[in-house]
Amino acid sequence: MFYSESRIFKNEEMLSHDYLPELLPHRENQIKQIANNILPASKGRQPQNTFLFGSPGIGKTASVKYIFREFENSSGAKTVYVNCWDYKTATAVLSKIVIDLGYPIQRRGWGKDEIFNRLKEVLNKLNKGLIICLDEIDQLEQEALYDLLRLDVDIPLGLVAISNNQFVFADAEPRIRSSLAMDEVEFKPYTLMEMKDVLQERVKHSIISVEDGVVLLAANQAVQKGGDVRIGLQCLLKAGRVAEQENSNKLEVEHMRKVLKEVKEVKPEILKEKINDGEKIILEILNGGKKQQSGELYKEYCRLVKDPVSDRLFREYINHLAEVNLVKINKRKLHGSVRIISKV
């Protein structure tokens, strides 16, 4: 026999970070708020645009996909999910929506106005409400939002935007901001006990037998290393593989201990992609591991780059790095308040 059934995993793929679980513990309130906001779309009324923000790996995307799945099943309104990392321009986003609604278009050769008009036509034929999720909306060019807002169609149309950055709309044109009129939904990091429940729920469906303490160890690692659930999932997957190699029929604390050192952060390359060049330089300065006072850090940054950004924008960079968990900010009271920045 080339392969035998695993004695550890019953559904290994349920530990994958792409897997959308049947239950999302501790996100009930957020899910309710988002669902209530978009529900009018399925009754022919205008939905409330909604903005979700919070640090990486705490269920923002999963919550929206969960709600969209329910909506599609009950067929009250149509939903389209767009990750703006993959569709950054107005043309790309508008075409993606047309295609997802089942109307093929040739991406090449069509100008933006044609795609815009095509989308309008398609929407007016839809005969039901539409909710569009723009995930990682900080990656989207502003023009795309402007286009979506001026669609002016006969059906109820709502937007759900997601970002790590709470202030992503702060620099948007005031007329865009006011027509968006977003209801904000904050996602706070899970506490240790919440993280344990979240992982426990995933383990229940994916691993046959687990020793007490294993899930708590994985949850602790995830919380200590920035709060990303994906870290916990990775720990469980790796520990499960170790258990298999050791021919065990149970995932034990010993197996988990062996992998904890390896699993420190999730997809650092993805986190790094989310940051701009200025932010990358800040990280390089902090790479030596020492803590820096924000004023000193700014001076060092100005020394290294040709066109340094303003003091104010620099602060935004630091805040953004903190939001994606790449730096830590500690406030210290000396003369006034001083911010001490260090790498996570």
Interaction site with ligand ATP (CB under 6 A): 17, 21, 24-27, 56-62, 164, 198, 201-202, 229-230
Which of these ranges, 61-69, 126-134, 227-235, 311-319, lies near Mg ion under the rule CB under 5 A?
Answer: 61-69
CB of 86 to Mg ion, least distance (A): 13
Query: Is residue 292 close enough to count as binding Mg ion by CB under 5 A?
Result: no
| One-letter amino acid for residue 31 of the chain | I
CB of 329 to ligand ATP, least distance (A): 19
Contact criterion met (CB below 8 Å) for 330 and 339: yes
Query: Is residue 165 close enough to count as binding Mg ion by CB under 5 A?
Result: no
* CB burial readout 170-185, b (16+ within 10 A) else e: eeeeeeeeeebebeeb
Phi, psi of 59, rounded to the nearest 5 degrees: 95, 15
Report what 320 binds from ligand ATP, Mg ion, none; CB cut-off 5-8 Å by kind. none
Interface residue with Mg ion among 30, 48, 49, 61 (CB under 5 A) is: 61
**Cβ-based nearer residue to ligand ATP, 60 or 320:** 60
Beta bridge partners of 251: 210
What the block records as the tokens of 214 is: 């294993």
Name the residue whose CB lies closest to Mg ion: 61
CB of 58 to Mg ion, least distance (A): 9
Residue 141 to residue 13: CA distance in whole angstroms: 35
Q: DSSP code of 76?
A: S
CB of 212 to Mg ion, least distance (A): 31
Phi, psi of 203, rounded to the nearest 5 degrees: -65, -40
Residue 213 to residue 257: CA distance in whole angstroms: 11
Residue 233 to residue 272: CA distance in whole angstroms: 20
**Cβ-based nearer residue to ligand ATP, 135 or 252:** 135
CB of 131 to ligand ATP, least distance (A): 17
Query: Is residue 163 close enough to count as binding Mg ion by CB under 5 A?
Result: no
Residue 253 to residue 14: CA distance in whole angstroms: 21
**Cβ-based nearer residue to Mg ion, 9 or 68:** 68
Query: Is residue 48 close enough to count as binding Mg ion by CB under 5 A?
Result: no
Binding site for Mg ion (CB under 5 A): 61
